[in-house]
Amino acid sequence: MNYQPDKRGFYGKFGGAFIPELLYPNVEFLRKNYLKIITSASFQQEFKSLLRDYAGRPTPLYFATRLSEKYHTQIFLKREDLNHTGAHKINNTIGQILLAQRMGKKRIIAETGAGQHGVATATVSALMGLQCVVYMGEVDMERQAPNVARMKMLGAEVRPARSGSRTLKDATNEAIRDWINHPEDTYYLIGSVVGPHPYPDMVARFQSVISEEMKIQLKEKTGRDEPDKIIACVGGGSNAAGAFYHYLENKKVELIAVEAYGKGVDSGQTAATTKIGSEGVIHGSKTLLMQNEEGQITEPYSLSAGLDYPGIGPLHAHLFKSGRGRFLGATDEEALQAAFEITRLEGIIPALESAHALAVLPKIKLKSNEVVVINISGRGDKDLQAYTKYLEEVEKKHLNIGR
């Protein structure tokens, strides 16, 4: 089985570039040139030095003693939360901003859900002195208000997306429409392994630094450069793609992707794409998505803004269909519990997105001699409002959590 896209961007039957003709010249230029540009020595040198000196890489691989004790196994946390701006998103935005710069683009646009990608884009735009416009669903602007403030301080304009469910899907629609209206000067800096080819592959390559470091760090700490399991949450799937990347061909490593079940797979309020989705086209890519009988894309739900998306990237659709990936999920409630658990066992407040990955620990069989890596894709500062609310509710009910 092959996990790299073919020339036209298909992973098996998923991927491609289903875009209006208006975007064709931009996307085609990227398709023809991205590999040449991003694999060149000068690009790689600049990319790596910014990842090191600016983003703060490598991020630690931390052995979580108390969490491991609780689950009777060996759990390592890949600390993407310790990156500059607080999530894995910066890996990708550094890569793409260098590409945009080499293409001579003057204006950067992006979509954002949790606001982490928006902040990371606003950050690198400030760094390079480029104009930046970020589209964000109105609902998300409210629930991730700290990130809206950060983007504004960084000099970005945040434009509310007011259509549909007013979340990530709608912000992405608006960003694509902006790009259609500004094909010459604007670069669309996509935040996950979604969108038309070559974005999924490009973003996966920029995020692959996660598993590149993981290999070296695991070797140092365990003597083997591979874990038994890797667990990562999936919104569009970029942190998971990065954490899986160098192990895609290594069948000994179990790849566990965790989707947001929201209020439950069958509740009608969920983002469980592989459970209730079907094949179709969303945001220029053929993949799995949530839709009704008429092919209308349905509105997803998750408490976590970064996972509140009705599709997954084409690589993940392929991992799911081929059986290479194991797809699990966590509800809002399970993710909140997991967030408190790790906070109180390890002193690490994770992003609500990352908490979904942690939340599957009680659901899977683990052996004491197994090595499990969980990708902590981001930190929880942005989610304090949700966490505080949860804590108040729990205290009202006199429940004991996270011990």
Q: What would the x/- binding string for ligand PLP be over residues 159 to 198, using CB under 6 A? A: ---------------------------------x------
Residue 354 binds ligand PLP, judged by CB under 6 A: yes
Q: Which of 318, 378, 387, 390 binds ligand PLP (CB under 6 A)?
A: 378
Residue 268 binds other proteins, judged by CB under 8 A: no
Q: Where does this chain touch other proteins (CB under 8 A) — which range of 68-76, 178-186, 301-309, 339-347?
A: 178-186
**Cβ(240)–Cβ(233) below 8 Å:** yes
Radius of gyration of the chain (CA): 19
Residue 92 binds other proteins, judged by CB under 8 A: no
93 binds, among other proteins, ligand PLP, none (CB under 5 to 8 A by kind): none
Q: Minimum distance between the CB of residue 305 and ligand PLP, rounded to whole angstroms? A: 7
20 binds, among other proteins, ligand PLP, none (CB under 5 to 8 A by kind): other proteins
Residue 200 binds ligand PLP, judged by CB under 6 A: no
Per CB under 6 A, contacts with ligand PLP among 290-349 are: 306-307
235 binds, among other proteins, ligand PLP, none (CB under 5 to 8 A by kind): ligand PLP
Q: What is the separation, in whole angstroms, between the first and last Cα of the chain?
A: 43
Residue 116 binds ligand PLP, judged by CB under 6 A: yes
Q: Minimum distance between the CB of residue 163 and ligand PLP, rounded to whole angstroms? A: 19
| 395 CB-contact burial (10 Å; exposed 0-12 / middle 13-18 / buried 19+) | exposed
Q: Is 377 a catalytic residue?
A: yes
Residues labelled as active-site residues: 89, 111, 377
